Amino acid sequence: MKDMSYKAVMARQNEIMRQSLGINYDDYERGGIVFDYEAMMRDIGISIDEVVTIQRELGVGDTPLLEVKNITALARKIAEPGFGARILIKDEAANPSGSFKARRAALSVWDAKRKGYKGVIAATSGNYGAAVASMAAKLGLKCIVIQECFDSELVGQPEILEKQRKCEALGAEVVQLTVGPELFYHALQLLEETGFYNASLYSPSAIAGIETLGYEIARQCREDYHLLPDVVIATQAGGGNLTGTARGLLKAGLRTTKVYAASVDLSGLSMASDRDFNRKSFTTGHTGFGIPFASLPDRSDVPRNAARALRYIDRYLLVKQGEVFYTTEMLASLEGIERGPAGNTSLAAAFALAQTLPEEQTIVVQETEYTGAGKHPMPQLTFAKQNGVHVYIGDPEEEVPGESIVLPAHPSLIRVRDYDMGRLRASALRRLTADGGPWTDEELTYMAEEIHCSVEEIKAMIEH
């Protein structure tokens, strides 16, 4: 009998990961701090056009790119004359499971099938679990979803419980846990016990699956709108969404398009805190994931994370919870499109950003997600009130995460806020250089790639 204590299982994590993905991450270590990211991604062994074909066979992708004319008109009404960039949204809710995560799940589950695994396991709060369950059903594999959904009183957020319902409806067995460190431990236990494939959010296949999203945006902008987007905004959490989209844009030749991250500002809340767990109204797409994963991507459930968002972020925008709820209602009221909060995080940022850019420019919000009973603003806001959060109409700048949600009194109060990219890069560099050097030319080049700047800038940052 193997030792299944927490310490023993965690000590075996690299071997468990190797067995459950069929990847030896040691093959990509190049000495010192250098890790050959691109070699790992190339070893998936299929081209982006082949990924497109696989996804189409599974009913994934080819989602509409919609112009939100009324929201653009409102932005122009508020903005100074000549400003108010055009806004397009990629309607990923049209995928089988209702979100862009169908793309990463399609390729991951396909990879599991081709490698001979009998089932897949995903550790996730929800949307990705539903996507994996959907693709597993199509490909005839078993599926287990491990979900962190309760505080210590076994109280769960309406959004997370909605996702549980979706996962079970699509045929998954759902294992529900309270908030804490047990999620990864239980995932490792089940992977070892079942021999199933680790359908991690952060595997190379998962990121390659999202590349088709950026690839499609480029094609549809060219063919349907006869333009190249100036900015693509991606909601930033663990980094896979932005990483895959950015890589797809580059593969389509869009090298001048800027890629902006957007996260809900939950500063001051701990994502692992039992007290804070139900005092936030967003389970993903917020700074509690977005900032840590950008500065230290390898905190994930695989030895080397294929989602490395800081390599691609040109600007990082923050929005408030109240602004996202308001934008969700705006999309429904002005465009007749009812969608969930994740994509509307980026839409809120796009609405504010559009007012600062000329009319002739175009912003693409690169995803929407499905909505359901637990995802609507009303149950979310009601739950917040039940947990002592003050919900009122006013200026979102007054919002204090965990204490208040402020719905804008006027759309002009939805603002552009920048997270300091210099601070984010410096934080990532400190983690990379923790051993103190000295650094080889190869290591300096790797640092520059990891934090999206020049080697000269790296040297200056190290000196200071």
Strand stretches in 294-368, DSSP E: 315-319, 362-365
Q: What pLDDT, on a 0 to 100 scale, did the predictor assign at position 383? A: 92
Cβ contacts of 60 within 8 Å, gap of 6 or more: 95, 96, 102, 103, 106, 135
Give yes or no for a cis peptide into 64 (omega within 30° of 0): no
Backbone angles phi, psi at 123, to 5 degrees: -100, 115
Q: Cβ distance 274 to 245 under 8 Å?
A: no
User: What's the pLDDT at 347?
Assistant: 98
pLDDT of residue 35: 95
450/44 Cα distance (integer angstroms): 21
Report the alpha-carbon distance of residue 58 to residue 332 in Å, rounded. Answer: 29
- CA gap 31, 456 in Å, rounded: 22
Which tokens belong to 57? Answer: 């066979």
pLDDT in tens, 313-368: 999 999 999 999 999 999 999 999 999 888 899 999 999 999 999 999 999 999 99
pLDDT confidence of residue 437: 79
pLDDT at position 443 is: 94
Q: 282 and 321 in contact (C-beta within 8 Å)?
A: yes
Instruction: Report the CATH fold assignment for 6-53+99-203.
Output: Rossmann fold (3.40.50)
pLDDT band for position 18 (50/70/90)? confident
Residue 421 has pLDDT above 80, yes or no: yes
pLDDT of 75 over the 80 cut: yes
Task: Give which of 2, 4, 7, 21 is closest to 300, Cα–Cα.
Answer: 21
- Distance, CA of 303 to CA of 310 (rounded, Å): 18
Closest CA to 200 of 342, 345, 49, 18: 18
- Is the CATH code 3.40.50.1100 the one for domain 59-96+205-413? yes
* Residue 405, pLDDT above cutoff 80: yes
How far does CA 152 lie from the centroid of its chain? 26
- Which tokens in the block code for residue 342? 């994740």
Q: Which pLDDT does position 308 carry in this prediction?
A: 97
Q: How far is CA 407 from CA 133, 150, 321, in A?
A: 35, 26, 8
**Residue 153: CB atoms within 10 Å:** 9
Q: Which helix (H) or strand (E) holds 76?
A: helix 69-78
Q: How confident is the model at residue 276 (pLDDT cuts 50, 70, 90)?
A: confident
Q: Is the pLDDT of residue 235 over 90?
A: yes
Using alpha carbons, list the distances in angstroms from residue 109 to 53, 101, 105, 129, 173. Answer: 15, 12, 6, 12, 16
Closest CA to 304 of 20, 23, 19, 52: 23
Percent of the chain residues topping a pLDDT of 70: 100
Tell me the per-residue pLDDT of 180-214, one tens digit each, with 9 for 90 and over. Answer: 777 788 888 999 999 999 999 899 999 999 999 99
Supply the mean pLDDT for the chain.
Answer: 93
Is 454's pLDDT higher than 80?
A: yes
Q: How far apart (Å, rounded) are the C-alpha atoms in residues 21 and 305?
A: 13
